[in-house]
Structure 1
Amino acid sequence: MDLNELRMLLDFGMVVILWLVQLVIYPSFLTCDLTKLVEWHRAYTRRVAWVIIPVMFTQLPLVGWLTREEPTRLNLAAFVCILIAWLLTFTVSVPLHRKIDSGDTSSETMQRLIKTNWPRTVLWTAAFVLGMG
């Protein structure tokens, strides 16, 4: 497998993860028993981190390196999408997950998590599509 194939695999992995999170996992938070949500959420975030963190921490440097080696507009645009998605992850999503872990199971927090995840979903999907070009 060459580096471009690895990139496509990682990009596609992030697309699958984000769409599952956006359409299935985050909305399920709204239907969970609130007395068990914090405990379930803590277990979920620990477990899903074993999947997401290696993909994210491989994808970003790989796409950065490939963009440096072949600085096309498509590569640059995909890299920028990933960078913005990272920024949103660590400035918006992670703090919201910490709120939930701290016991904030309000509908407002869950709705904000769902709403603010849309840009990340779109950005990682765009990075994948751009990488195909």
Structure 2
Amino acid sequence: MNAGQWAVLLNVASTWYMVGLIWVIQIVHYAMFDQVGEQNFQRYAVDHARRITPVVGIPMLIELATSAYLVYRPPPEVRVSWLWIGLVMVGLIWASTAAIQVPCHDQLGRGFDADVCRRLVHSNWIRTVLWSARGVLTFYLVSRLLSAD
């Protein structure tokens, strides 16, 4: 396999890994934050942040790097505009993470706050929708590559 094929493969794999993970986080994990109880919540929130970081960080970095690479070296079968749209979606996911979700987690690490918990759950829909749309986009990318053969 050449570098472009590896980039596509890693991009699709990292995106779909995150699609699955973000739906579990959105529907199961974050939705249950308010059930931990105030007495144990601070330790729970700190442990959550520590444990989730490598689980999401590594695939997010792979997704970002491969999305940028594909814009820089687009496969000839795919319109570069679609690759740019995918890269912009990744940028929006990162921006939402840095500007909204990480600050919510930081606040929750100091103790339970129902308003912050609600803001985290509601704002995480931004990432859930964007990653789901990226998943659809990667299916398109793969379909274009497969139809070229």
Unaligned runs of 5+ in 2: 141-149
Alignment-derived partner of residue 47 in structure 1? 51
Query: For the residues of structure 2 that align with 1:68 and 1:128, how far apart are their CA atoms?
Result: 20
Give 1:65-84 correspondences, 5 Å limit. 65-70=69-74, 72-84=80-92
Is 1:110–2:83 an aligned residue pair? no
Query: For the residues of structure 2 that align with 1:65 and 1:76, how far apart are their CA atoms?
Result: 11
- Greater RCO (CA < 8 Å, at least 6 residues apart): 1
Judge which range, 22-31 or 69-78, deviates more: 69-78
Query: For the residues of structure 2 that align with 1:127 and 1:80, how far apart are their CA atoms?
Result: 10
Alignment-derived partner of residue 3 in structure 1? 7
Bigger radius of gyration, 1 or 2?
A: 2
- Asked whether the equivalents of residues 8 and 66 of structure 2 are also in contact (C-alpha less than 8 Å), the reply is no
Percent identity over the alignment? 26
Cα offset, 1:34, TM superposition: 1.2
Is 1:20–2:24 an aligned residue pair? yes
- Normalised to the residue count of structure 2, the TM-score between the two structures is 0.84
Which residue, 55, 62, 86 being the options, matches 1:58?
A: 62
Alignment-derived partner of residue 132 in structure 1? 139
- Asked whether the equivalents of residues 79 and 127 of structure 1 are also in contact (C-alpha less than 8 Å), the reply is no
1:22 maps to a residue whose letter is: Q
- Asked whether the equivalents of residues 10 and 62 of structure 2 are also in contact (C-alpha less than 8 Å), the reply is no
Query: For the residues of structure 2 that align with 1:106 and 1:116, how far apart are their CA atoms?
Result: 15
Number of matched residues? 132
Unaligned runs of 5+ in 1: none
